[in-house]
Amino acid sequence: MHQLLTHQRKEKLRSPFWTKNILLNILLGFVGFWLFIMALSAGLAAIRIIAEFYSDLDATEVFTGLLFYFFVFDLISRFLIQKLPAMSIQPYRTLPVSRMKLLHYPLIRSVFSFFNLLPFFLIMPFFIMVVCAGKPAFFSLAWIITLVCFIGVNNFLNFSIKKYFIKKPVLILLLFFITGTLLFLDLQEIFQFSPWFAKFTMYIAGNPPLVILPVSMVILAYRLAYSTMKKNYYPEEAPGSRTITGGFSFLSRYGETGELLGIELKMILRNKRPRSVMIFSLIFLGYGLLLYDDLDNIIKLLMGGFLLTFAFALNYGQFLFSWEGTYFDSYLANKISAYHYIRSKYLFFAAAGIIGFLLTLPYILISPKIFFVNLSMLLYNAGVSSILLLFLCTNNSTSIDLGKSQFMNYQGTGAIQFLMIIPLIGIPIGIHIIFLILGIRHYTIPGLGILGLIGIIFSRYLLQMVVNLFLSRKYTMASGFRKIN
């Protein structure tokens, strides 16, 4: 095992990545340092906030309850961002190195992950200044061991989630839906889980021999991760490892537009970066819990309806055409109708908006008003935002590597990606300001819905304008896509 760690360390140090990306490494170092400082500041601020607002309660129990939300967020962040430690197993398969060591290596190496170090900066200030200062020694020791075990559970559980759930997008959606529902029930005080988490942790801390329970949870999570990796040791034998084929053949009955739409969907599901954008957009749907706290604020309702029903279309659509940069020439070389090509992307945006709208229906539990706001913004996004996004994306000319991760990846990102946000968000806000000046601000939401409906009715003419612009720029776009980034 020591030799494997040494080989990996030498591979990293000798890699040209460190010399070719010095500025990026410095930037990542500053980002990591900033996150450590923020976590430390949050831990220190928690001490003051709990003392001020929860002075009549046990500070340790209150802080432990708040950590429930942190661990849920930590698990989701790991799934979206954390890259599992990998090694080049292939060269070792012909050497006298046991498969057991090759499987244990990434699990052991993951213990030293940035994601495992960050929680300590959040927890340790409270542990030293409050728990150790006010609780018995054995209680303090059992409390910190229990929390460290929860960090370990998240770390090893992430292996199983990434290796298993990533192959089954439906299960990923179900997992995030259940997680979002549990958080919603807890935040709305309908059915709270954070107090249970706090009482469970405090009970173990009060009875130190019971610390064997969280330790057993870590061992179980480790064994589960090991078993999952063992099943995926040989990629060709792993269940679900086959390339996605078919699945969208029914779209071919809708002619060339349907076939192009099917190709778009396959590209998203087969490649890492667009698939990460899709998953991130699903997580973003939980943002409504923050936006819908004031139902009398039209701006919040407007932004909530706009962003939640247009989340994936916005995140994915700002790189439109760039996703296909590596094979964009094939569209120019083949007899593919430009109108059908553009229309397939418009229908994709519309379908993504409808799915986003359906996924936001649980927010009706907060207020039925949200249903009508989101419906109005769905019409606006389908009739106005989608067309506008297609117009703006004809300026994209940088190809994207589909296999790379989304996190801290700025490939394909330029000034146009930031500038296109201004009209997309600025137009509905500008319309609201005009209605506000005219004294009819309550008609903003219905007015945007009617505007979107008009756009849908005249979508054929608007799409033809996009096609004309696309035809005038397609060779410039193709030339940019051919450049190596």
Q: Is residue 246 scored above 50 in pLDDT?
A: no
User: Which two three-digit tokens encode residue 143?
Assistant: 């409390």
| Residue 237 banded pLDDT, cuts 50, 70, 90 | very low
Cα Rg of the chain, angstroms:
26
What per-residue confidence (pLDDT) applies to 242? 39
Map out the domains of the chain as residue ranges.
2-237, 249-482
Looking at per-residue pLDDT, the higher value among 398 and 191 belongs to 398
C-alpha span between 225 and 357 (Å, rounded): 35
Looking at per-residue pLDDT, the higher value among 333 and 215 belongs to 215
Looking at per-residue pLDDT, the higher value among 381 and 30 belongs to 381
C-alpha span between 136 and 139 (Å, rounded): 5
Q: Is residue 238 scored above 50 in pLDDT?
A: no
Confirm if 75 and 42 have CB atoms less than 8 A apart.
Answer: no
Within 10 angstroms of residue 398's Cβ, the number of other Cβ atoms is: 19
The DSSP output letter for 441 is G
Confirm if 460 and 332 have CB atoms less than 8 A apart.
Answer: no
Q: What's the angle, vertex CA 141, arms to CA 135 and CA 142, rounded to 5? A: 100
Amino acid (one-letter) located at 174: L
User: Which two three-digit tokens encode residue 384?
Assistant: 């106005």
Looking at per-residue pLDDT, the higher value among 389 and 366 belongs to 389
Segment 365-378, tens digit of pLDDT: 788 888 888 888 99
User: Which two three-digit tokens encode residue 110?
Assistant: 């993951």
Segment 276-301, tens digit of pLDDT: 788 778 777 777 777 777 777 788 88
Instruction: Indicate whether this model's pTM tops 0.85.
Output: no
Confirm if 356 and 285 have CB atoms less than 8 A apart.
Answer: yes
